[in-house]
Structure 1
């Protein structure tokens, strides 16, 4: 027999069930993604660098769409904490911030041949370009993405999702630094001393200088094209996700 107190609160918690599911999915993705990254030295020794990379990408690409579909179908769940959609200029701000977030989430696009295992995958110690601005651009990009979508959506589900994603990326900051230090030792510690996680902090403190020419890369044109395509087909993607009944 269930507790009377539990039975009383259960209906009130029902609208937040999707929040817990989303956080659980983020945790599952984090365990798979970071866990496989941690096991990379052993996995590559066992399977080889290329085959392990394909396995890693297959797992990530299998889980990521599930999160995106569930997020799209439940993003307005829970309580609407704010609604700024009618505020002049808010839509433009959200679009620009969302686009900007992908320029920080770019690093994988610089090594497409390694991702596809055509070229032997390596754990790189990047020292130029956006690394001069922030040592962990993916964290910065995720924070910007969450801020942009929270401005537009304003639901408790969006807040819970944002907190979960940012918490995972904060862990990834520590985990990424740990893996790079394990591989590169003093070379990474030297890089860490002249870079920062907070965007621009190392530049303001005089530990780093920005070189605009380092951003003149074809990969950025690829990111720009991807952002344009994503914006053009955003409504179709949301519509397609809504056809998945969960």
Structure 2
């Protein structure tokens, strides 16, 4: 896990909005480490999907965790690790929690949705072999050749399906032993959620639409932490709004522009 990616993640988490992280090398281990760090500062792993050319990237979504336990843990860790924004001064990795995150990410990647993709792939190969036989001339020998190719590819798909199901069973058993419960969404996709967890799109969950979705209205306030700005009470109409004062030292990502409150536009 690079310091640069950790610093970027913590900076994005300051907004209190859902954050998407990308692993260019399709590394579940790297994403699990990032998710563990996010959990220490008020966020929670939400979902993962493949992306990029040839699905060579993994894109993980983390969202704010507004549970009392998560808020207390975030406040304690920000107090104990005030320099966490440097990407180095972080809470130590807890092996059991890290392995559970790896199991959740792996299951979400290779669950029933992966089997469905393999089924579509097998159907596409079957149609392609028929088309190939006709393009070769449509003779019996052409169908024999394409039939051999089809059998070889179906064998590969079959081996992949068996391996995928064995992996899924292993991850599911580990998650169930830790108290996670299988829940199916409206499309039939099964996810393993921690006790009290919610499926995407339920009760204002901010990753319900599209690949992940956007922030839902009426979400609770973000956990105080790195760069957090507390909400300001509304002022009466016609009175100037006070400038918010940062409760923490600002990270070296830029300098605020000073505004002159006495400046008046030139008279024409």
Same fold, TM-score > 0.5, yes or no: no
Higher helix share: 1
Give the structure with higher Rg (CA).
2
The one of the two structures with greater contact order (alpha-carbon pairs below 8 A, sep at least 6) is 1
